[in-house]
Amino acid sequence: MNARTSNATIIERIRQLRTAMQAQGISACLIPSADPHLSEYLPERWKGRVWLSGFTGSVATLIVATDFAGLWVDSRYWVQAEVELAGTGITLMKVNSASAAQHIEWLASHVPAGGTVAVDGNVLGLAVARDLQTALTAKGTLLRTDIDLLETVWADRPGLPTAPIYEHKAPYATQSRAAKLELVRAAMKAAGADWHFISTVDDIAWLFNLRGSDVSYNPVFIGHALLHPQGATLFVGEGKLPADLTQTLAAEGIRIAPYASAHAALATLPADAGLLIDPRRITLGLRQAVPDGIRVVELINPSVFAKSQKSEAEAVHIRDAMEQDGAALCEFFCWLDGAIGKQRITEIDIDTQINAARARRPNFVCPSFATIAGFNGNGAMPHYRATEESHAVIEGQGLLLIDSGGQYLGGTTDITRVVAIGEPSAAQKRDFTLVLKGVINLSVARFPRGTRSPMLDALARAPIWADAVDYGHGTGHGVGYFLNVHEGPQSIAATAMPLPQTAMEPGMITSIEPGIYRLNQWGVRIENLVLNRVATQSEFGEFLEFETLTLCPIDTRCMDLSLLRADEIAWINDYHATVRRRLSPHVAGEAKRWLEIRTEPI
């Protein structure tokens, strides 16, 4: 689906969907960006919103009604959506924040009483389903969740992914399956549950020390898990587990069952079972499979907290992965500096070269997300993606924004750097420096343990707000350990609710990535990953601070030194001294010379 789908094709697909809706008496069809595991990145089978709309961004909600089709998209994707939806007949509906449920409000106000809204319950999150049901019931509108209209209109719909599952082994897996299961069972017992159903693929991969490649960029596999008093059952596709690994799991009390049998397993739970489920991490379809008499405990999956707090043994491997990643970036940027002005370089070439540099590093597995390489105006789109059909040549003057990352056996990386092509303007330097000041301001913060992560967002925005500027995305997301590049429960974002589960705890890895975006001109975003660690203990409790994990020079050519305080200059020089010391043993020749130049004190 990477190639641009023609407008005529999109129009015909929407027409076919409306025909299927009419046959079922449906007033509006809701197609979320989701699969049965509520994943961020979806296997091809569940990219129905992309197939129907032609919009290729990772997050959006499509609604097709009898006489209207709209795509609800947050500000990160507005420019991209305007381009991809043009001529399709689908209206861009701008969402103010990624968490807003404006599409639910639209359905409640536009579908008439007595009408029917259809959505596949197998990909509809339980919490969202409850909000949707409440809103529609109040208006006298019926919600139907027992039908997947995509099956009717998508003739060549892909099947389930078939990539094999493999074991994440020591030394990189620093804790055994048995220890992790014991930890989760203790949390279950404390909650009064003896059964626990898990659908989120990163929780399952973490809990069982297994990995796969069913989803692009994230080393996970499609499956469900049911923890019960006799052990655990893992529901995965047939043939995905090698025989020896199946035997190893069986010896540890972990039974393998067909992927499609998860519903039946829930339907046949014993009457006296106490079942723990996470309403934000399970679909309506799976919840409906649970018999009415079962006592259900609704809490966040215990594994969400456990996997977010990396151990010191994991931190050792993560630091090593950051060194390898930083060394790869030194080689890449050295190549870029030498090639600019001497050969034709496009945004596509940036992606190719940066992935090749990482691939030469030990324990590299794959990119952690699709590289964002945006030159000048393209960099103003936070989630821009260059394609063969549409991309820029890197030439002349301007700013090149590169957001990329890698999956290593010992960690997951995510970094954004902006570099000067030619001489940056005074306005570009000002924006760059304001963003850098935001990075520094949050990086040096100390805060009480347990601080709700959204409360930290303003620290990065303050220097940018002072110039009457803002950005439309969150400041930071959690990052997994050779797992999803976006991980909870913490989120440094003004739009996130400061719920108890967002509390900052030691061992959490979070990004710091403020930005400034000038439409059709340039974009600036600087991103480092940081690790929560204990700073000090006082009469007011335990305080945390950040250890900056990411190791790569920040382009001093883009800085307006007149805007920087002495302590900010000291932070930059200290950071660059650390980068030089940590990366020097891993690079040689021209790449080492590049590193030395780019880390000279200012």
Q: What is the DSSP string of 339-370?
A: HTTTS--BHHHHHHHHHHHHHTSTTEEEESS-
Number of Cβ within a 10 Å radius of residue 97? 15
User: What pLDDT sits at residue 3?
Assistant: 60
Q: Which of 48-52, 377-381, 500-504, 510-514 has the lowest mean pLDDT?
A: 377-381
Residue 449 scores a pLDDT above 60: yes
Beta carbons of 448 and 540 less than 8 angstroms apart: yes
User: What pLDDT sits at residue 100?
Assistant: 61
Per-residue pLDDT tens for 525-541?
Answer: 999 999 999 999 999 99
Residue 333: which of 596, 600, 528, 602 has the closest Cα?
A: 596
- Give the residue-averaged pLDDT of 552-566: 98
- Give the residue-averaged pLDDT of 43-64: 93
The token pair at 363 is 């324990």
Residue 2 scores a pLDDT above 50: no
Per-residue pLDDT tens for 356-370?
Answer: 999 999 999 999 999
Q: Which of 52-56, 76-80, 172-176 has the lowest mean pLDDT?
A: 76-80
Per-residue pLDDT tens for 227-266?
Answer: 999 899 999 999 999 999 999 999 999 999 999 999 999 9
Work out the percent of the chain whose per-residue pLDDT is above 70: 99
CA distances from 383 to 81, 434, 564 (A): 11, 21, 29
Residue 58 scores a pLDDT above 90: no
Per-residue pLDDT tens for 195-210?
Answer: 999 999 999 999 999 9
Residue 1 scores a pLDDT above 50: no
- Give the residue-averaged pLDDT of 70-78: 87
Mean residue pLDDT across the chain? 95
Q: How confident is the model at residue 387 (pLDDT cuts 50, 70, 90)?
A: confident
User: Starting at the edge strand that comes first in sequence, how are the strands of the sheet with 406-408 ordered?
Assistant: 364-367, 406-408, 411-412
Give the span between the Cα atoms of 204 and 449, in whole angstroms: 28
Residue 457 scores a pLDDT above 50: yes
CATH architecture of 166-303: 3-Layer(aba) Sandwich (3.40)
User: What pLDDT sits at residue 549?
Assistant: 98
Give the span between the Cα atoms of 348 and 323, in whole angstroms: 25
- Give the residue-averaged pLDDT of 8-27: 95
Work out the percent of the chain whose per-residue pLDDT is above 90: 92
Sequence ranges of the chain with CATH classification 3.40.350.10: 7-153, 166-303
Per-residue pLDDT tens for 397-433?
Answer: 999 999 999 999 999 999 999 999 999 999 999 999 9
What's the CA angle centered on 128, arms 285 and 452, to 5 degrees? 125
- Give the residue-averaged pLDDT of 381-390: 82
Give the fold, CATH level 3, of 7-153: Creatine Amidinohydrolase; Chain A, domain 1 (3.40.350)
- Give the residue-averaged pLDDT of 546-557: 98
Pick the CATH number of 309-598 from 1.20.1630.10, 3.40.50.970, 3.40.309.10, 3.90.230.10: 3.90.230.10
The token pair at 547 is 């250890």
Residue 99 scores a pLDDT above 60: no
Is the bond preceding 32 in cis, omega lying within 30 degrees of 0? Answer: no
Residue 491 scores a pLDDT above 50: yes
